[in-house]
């Protein structure tokens, strides 16, 4: 592949796929931030939990106990991961976020608390699953789709498709459903929303559950393409944060664009500079963003009340 055009297209394709990986992880983060003004450091570990749930559902439970065919097993595992993520989100919301909100905590303590949860989850999974990478094969994993000289694996195509579907579903939910509107109301102005009869606590808990369910599904999608260990989440979280910031805290469209941007930049950095410099480039970009356009790519956030 020495033709420059093919190369650029291929790396762009790689970048889009990478970007979708980050978007899947970042979307939940941005959702939680939008409503709660909170950063959940344990989010990436939710992704890992989702991945492991999917792995065990697909390989042990569905195929062995239920005797399902591979594709069915994998689909089932997606739902299992969604459920696991949702459950975990609900637990963390009830045990950590809600009590801290009640006691009137500032922005910092929930952050630290989620760090504690992250350490707990990572080491808990380490104790349960061990550090040796698990071989999670989805039925599509090994197939390559070729279009001319351009290639990508079937699983990456699935990642992109499901990400798009998830984003579309989320969008529809936020725009058209009552709960979605309530969520946006709470995100914009919690007090007024409360005055208008919206049960903020319910909405917030629901948001966390949805975001964590997203994380779970992300894990199920990523499992077959990443190196699956309890540390997988940690390897993704920092870049996911970068996407959230670059896109603008709490801004869904921005996060998506930022994710794709980060993915593409990563692919081209690898091509021309070297993979050791990826983090450097991405974070330099992030800092630049913060200086030039602190509100993110798509300025939607209101100004802070004086």
Partner 1 sequence: MKRAFITIIFAIGAFPFAALAQDKVIRVGVLMPISGPGSYFGVMGKEGIDLALEQVAKSNLNGYRLQVQYEDSACSPLQATNTVKRVLDQLKPHIVIGEECSDASLAIAPILEQAKVVQLNAGSVTMKLTESGYKYVFRIFPNAEQQSAPLVKVAREKLKAQTAVILYEKTNAGNDNAEGFEKPFVAAGGKVLAKIDFGRDVNDFTAIATRIASLGKVDVLPTFALEGQQVRLSQALAQAKVVKGGGGPGVQMGSIWLPFGYDQKAGQASVGYVRIVQFDPNEKRKVVQDFVKAFQAKYGADKTPTHINAHAFDTILLVAEAVRRGAKDSETIREQFTKFKDVEVTTGKISFDKKGQNSDLSVVHFVETQPDLSWKGMSWQ
Partner 2 sequence: MIAAAPWLLGSAYWRGILVLCAMNVLLALSLNLVMGYTGQLNLGQSAFFGIGAYVSTILIKTYGWNFWLAAGAAVAAAGLVGVALAAFAVRLRGHYLAIASLGFAVITYQVLVNWESMTQGVRGIYGILAPVPDTVALFYLVAGLGLVVYFLLDNLVRSPVGDTLRAIREDEVSAAALGVNAAVWKAFAFGLGAAIAGLAGCFYPGFVGTLVPDAFGIVESFTMMAMVIVGGMGTMIGPVIGAVVLTFLPEVLRDFGELRLMIYGVALTLVVLFMPGGMVQAWASLKNKIA
Residue 73 CB, shortest distance to partner 1, in Å, is 18
SS3 228: strand
For partner 1, the closer of residues 52 and 97 by Cβ is: 52
Interatomic CA distance for residues 233 and 118, integer angstroms:
10
SS3 133: coil
What SS3 string covers 141-199?
CCCEEEECCEEEEHHHHHHHHHHHHHHHHHHHHHHHCHHHHHHHHHHHCHHHHHHCCCC
Would you count residue 107 as binding partner 2 (CB under 8 A)?
yes
Secondary structure letter of residue 39 according to DSSP: -
Interatomic CA distance for residues 156 and 151, integer angstroms:
10
Among partner 2, partner 1, none, the one that 242 touches (CB under a kind-dependent 5 to 8 A) is: partner 2
Sign of CA dihedral 42, 208, 46, 117: positive
Site for partner 2 in 273-302 (CB under 8 A): 276-277, 279-280, 283-284, 286-287, 290-291, 294
Among partner 2, partner 1, none, the one that 160 touches (CB under a kind-dependent 5 to 8 A) is: none
Among partner 1, partner 2, none, the one that 299 touches (CB under a kind-dependent 5 to 8 A) is: none
Residue 141 CB, shortest distance to partner 1, in Å, is 8
In this structure, are residues 110 and 100 in contact, taking their beta carbons and an 8 Å threshold? yes
Would you count residue 113 as binding partner 2 (CB under 8 A)?
yes
In this structure, are residues 25 and 237 in contact, taking their beta carbons and an 8 Å threshold? yes
Residues near partner 1 (CB under 8 A), total: 41
Residue 249, token pair as written in the block = 């805290």
What residue ranges bind partner 2 (CB under 8 A)? 33, 37, 39, 96, 99-100, 103, 105, 107-109, 111-113, 115-124, 126-127, 238, 241-242, 245, 249, 276-277, 279-280, 283-284, 286-287, 290-291, 294, 304, 306
What residue ranges bind partner 1 (CB under 8 A)? 1-2, 7, 10-11, 14-15, 17-18, 21, 123, 126, 130-133, 135, 142, 144, 151-153, 156, 222, 225-229, 231-232, 234-236, 266-267, 270-271, 274-276
């Amino acid at each position: 592949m020495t033709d420059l055009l093919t190369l650029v297209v291929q790396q762009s394709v790689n970048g889009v796929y990478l970007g979708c990986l980050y978007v899947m992880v970042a979307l939940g983060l941005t959702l939680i931030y939008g409503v709660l003004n909170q950063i959940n450091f344990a989010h990436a570990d939710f992704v890992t939990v989702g991945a492991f749930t999917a792995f065990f559902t697909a390989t042990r439970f569905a195929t062995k106990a239920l005797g399902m065919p591979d594709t069915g097993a994998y689909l089932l595992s997606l739902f299992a991961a969604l459920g696991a993520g949702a459950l975990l989100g609900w637990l963390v919301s009830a045990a950590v976020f809600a009590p801290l909100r009640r006691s009137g905590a500032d922005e910092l303590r929930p952050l630290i608390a989620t760090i504690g949860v992250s350490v707990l989850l990572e080491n808990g999974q380490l104790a349960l699953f061990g550090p040796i990478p698990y071989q999670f094969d989805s039925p599509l994993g090994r197939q390559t789709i070729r279009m001319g000289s351009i290639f990508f694996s079937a699983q990456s195509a699935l990642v992109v498709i499901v990400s798009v579907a998830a984003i579309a579903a989320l969008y529809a939910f936020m725009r058209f459903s009552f709960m979605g509107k309530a969520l946006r109301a709470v995100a914009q102005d919690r007090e007024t929303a409360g005055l208008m009869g919206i049960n903020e606590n319910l909405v917030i808990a629901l948001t966390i559950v949805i975001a964590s369910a997203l994380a779970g599904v992300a894990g199920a999608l990523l499992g077959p393409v990443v190196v699956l260990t309890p540390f997988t989440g940690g390897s993704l979280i920092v870049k996911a944060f970068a996407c959230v910031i670059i896109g603008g805290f709490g801004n869904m469209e921005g996060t998506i664009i930022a994710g794709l941007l980060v993915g593409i930049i990563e692919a081209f950095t690898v091509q021309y500079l070297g993979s050791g410099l990826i983090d450097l480039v991405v974070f330099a970009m992030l800092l630049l963003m913060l200086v030039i356009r602190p509100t993110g790519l798509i300025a939607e956030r209101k100004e802070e009340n004086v």
